Every structure is written in C-alpha cells, then in structure tokens.
Structure 1
Amino acid sequence: MENNMQNEIRYQEALKRVKKIKGFYTHFIVYLVINIMIIISNIQNLESGESYFKLENFFTAFFWGIGLILHALSIFLPTWFLGNNWEENKIQELMGKEENNKWE
C-alpha cells in the first residue's frame, strides 16, 4: 500500500514536471512564430533603401527573449534558485503553520 502511494506521488510529480516542460515548449514556439511574423511585417513595410537592422525592430524579440530565458531557467534549473526539495519543504512548513493555527 505504501509503495503504491509513493509511486502515485512520484507519478503526479513527474506529470506536473512534464506539463511545465510542455508549457515552456509552447511558449518557445509562440515566441518563434510571433517574432517571425513581426520580422516579415517589418520587412514588408520597409521603404526602398531602408535597412531592417534598426534597434526598434528588435525590442519585442529582445525583451520577450529575456522572459523566455527566465522561463527556461525556472523549468530546467529549479535547484539553482530554490534548492533541492524546496517545494516539499515549503509544503511541510505551511502545513505545520496551518496545524498550529487550528489549535489557537
């Protein structure tokens, strides 16, 4: 019984992680598609002799790219920022506080 429960917990944790990874890949694909559309639109609207390589043409890709990198770091390097088992420790801490508040 205990083993089945541990397997179920591990399965749920793995499922949660897979959904986070899938969310990142979706974010990445949307980033690529939208930025390609912006590039195509900007190129089509160029005046003759005008260069595409102007700073304002890259603002969206640059700042959204920073967000995408931070998203990737949060998915693929979770122990880098919050440490090992941070989530489990936080759950235990909050459950302990909740239990203490019941008696007050």
Structure 2
Amino acid sequence: MNNNTEKQNKYIRAKARVAEIKKFYTSLISYAIFITLLGALNYYVNEWRYMWFLWAAFGWGIGLLFQAGKAFQWSPFMGKNWEERKLKEFLEEEEKQDWN
C-alpha cells in the first residue's frame, strides 16, 4: 500500500474517532442539562414524593454508556481490537479460498 494512502486512511479513521468522541460529549452535556431540568420539574410538581425523573435518568444513562463504549472503543465482551482481528482473519480465509 502506498505510504501516502496509508496516512490518509489513518487520518480518516482518526477524524471519525474524534467525531464519535465529540458526539458523546455533546450527548453527555445534553443528558446533564435535561436530567437536571427534569429533576427540578419533579421537585416542583411533587417535592420528591415520587422521583419519576430517575427513570428517565436511568434509561438515558444506559444509552449514554453504550455510546461511551463506542466512542472510547471499550468493549468488554469482544476485547481490544477484536473487530480488526476478525477482519484480518476473514480476509485471510478469503485469500485461502481464492487459491483453491
């Protein structure tokens, strides 16, 4: 592979990763603002007799955890670089089949 092409591919992957991290932080800020507002509304409506805003915080929080895992490439089930290893494995299998 051409060295210049390889640098371009690395740049494109890095740019995509930065975009994912930026998207996560934007979501995190939105989460903090809206959950705070929901908590304030909950207090205003029933003074913590039933803290319903926690259901929204919990549900949205789970989604935020998955988004963080994707943005920071944290995958406890598949391990580090699992996807790249699998791609290489499948490409090697394809090459072996092409020779047969």
Same fold (TM over 0.5): yes
Could you list the per-position Cα deviations for residues 19-75 of structure 1 after superposition, in whole angstroms to 9, with x for gaps in the alignment? 1101111111111111111112222223xxxx4163423110111111111211222
Could you list the per-position Cα deviations for residues 7-29 of structure 1 after superposition, in whole angstroms to 9, with x for gaps in the alignment? 10000000010011011111111
Name stretches of at least 5 consecutive residues in structure 2 with no aligned partner: 92-100
Query: What's the counterpart of residue 5 of structure 1?
Result: 5
Looking at both structures, which has the greater relative contact order when contacts are Cα pairs under 8 Å and sequence separation is at least 6? Answer: 1
Q: Does the C-alpha gap of structure 1 residues 53 and 15 become closer, same or farther in structure 2, counting only changes over 3 Å?
A: farther
TM-score, normalization by structure 1: 0.68
Name stretches of at least 5 consecutive residues in structure 1 with no aligned partner: 96-104
**Aligned partner of residue 48 in structure 2, secondary structure:** coil
Quick one: distance in 2 between partners of 1:83 and 1:55? Answer: 37
Quick one: distance in 2 between partners of 1:82 and 1:70? Answer: 14
Query: What's the counterpart of residue 42 of structure 1?
Result: 42
1:70 pairs with 2:66:
yes
Query: What's the counterpart of residue 16 of structure 2?
Result: 16
Compute the RMSD of aligned alpha carbons: 2.9
Query: Which deviates further from its counterpart, 5-14 or 37-46?
Result: 37-46
